[in-house]
Amino acid sequence: MDWPIAEVARMSGVTARTLRHYDEIGLLPPARIGTNGHRRYEERQLLLLQQILILRELGVGLPEISRILAEQVDEVEALRGHHRRLVAERDRLDALATTVFRTIADLEQSRKDGREMTAINRPENLFEGVQPSQYEEYLRDFPALAEAGARLAAETGPAEAEAGQRERTALMIRLAELMAAGAEPGADAVLAEVDGQYRAFTGPSPVSADEFRAIGRACVDNEQWRGAYEAIAPGLAAYQRDAIEAYATARLG
């Protein structure tokens, strides 16, 4: 049995345009192309599509997915590997959700007690479930920055890399606190936080105003970036985008 591209798109939730792109780059050729030029897919292609989508959910880029699919021999063993990765990702997300929930509880208690909003009982709890390697993965839409970041990571020890990730996460939380306090994206306190972000980006490689604006838009448009921000606080991705836009206009011209 085979299925037309429209039916595969309906079943998988992937657009026909994306399926055609997968074919064009050799990642997922159809089983055959009919006399009318329409692509037809069989069970094997559906199984491959499932693997592609699973790996995409795990943050793997298309070139790496192509390599993984080319090297795998046994489909069942490959699926076992994907299952292990998914279970590990589920456990990581559970830990991250617990971390965010605990942070919310600490912040709410701080407000009730009249303490500073940033008062946290155990600061190290902020970072459970956060993996430093994900930051580099989020930059895959910015090849020059990703390459510069990879070079920097190669020269950085594990302790420094973890400290950098902790600071980035802490900055996101500080930004969420400012948002919750009603600060406008262009407020001085918000721009001060974004300045720290900009300096972090320009450390490994120069970043123009337009590039920084594109990074801001990616906070909303990139599914992984948006998910990371929304895990901290709903609406934070758009707030970060607007804050970067305000910073680029006010400080970068």
- Decide if domain 2-72 falls under CATH 1.10.1660.10: yes
Domain extent listing, the chain: 2-72, 132-253
Q: Report the pLDDT averaged over residues 73-101.
A: 72
CA atoms within 13 A on the CB side of 246: 19
3-state secondary structure of 153: helix
The residues near 150 (Cβ < 8 Å, ≥ 6 apart) are 136
pLDDT at 100 over 80: no
Q: Do 2-72 and 132-253 fold alike per CATH? A: no
- When mean pLDDT is compared over 54-68, 133-147, 163-177, the highest value belongs to 54-68
> Rounded CA gap, 244 and 248, in Å?
6
Look at residue 72 in the predicted model and tell me its pLDDT: 72
Query: How many residues does this entry show for the chain?
Result: 253
3-state secondary structure of 40: strand
pTM beyond 0.85: no
> Rounded CA gap, 56 and 69, in Å?
13
> Rounded CA gap, 183 and 172, in Å?
14
> Rounded CA gap, 208 and 167, in Å?
23
Look at residue 19 in the predicted model and tell me its pLDDT: 93
| CA angle (233, 239, 244) in 5-degree steps | 135
Confidence of residue 155 (pLDDT cuts 50, 70, 90): low
More confident residue, 12 or 202: 12
The residues near 153 (Cβ < 8 Å, ≥ 6 apart) are 136, 161
Q: Report the pLDDT averaged over residues 178-185.
A: 89
> Rounded CA gap, 238 and 231, in Å?
13
Domain 132-253 - what CATH class? mainly alpha
In this structure, of 47-56, 105-114, 161-170, 230-239, the range with the lowest mean pLDDT score is: 161-170
> Rounded CA gap, 75 and 211, in Å?
41
> Rounded CA gap, 223 and 130, in Å?
17
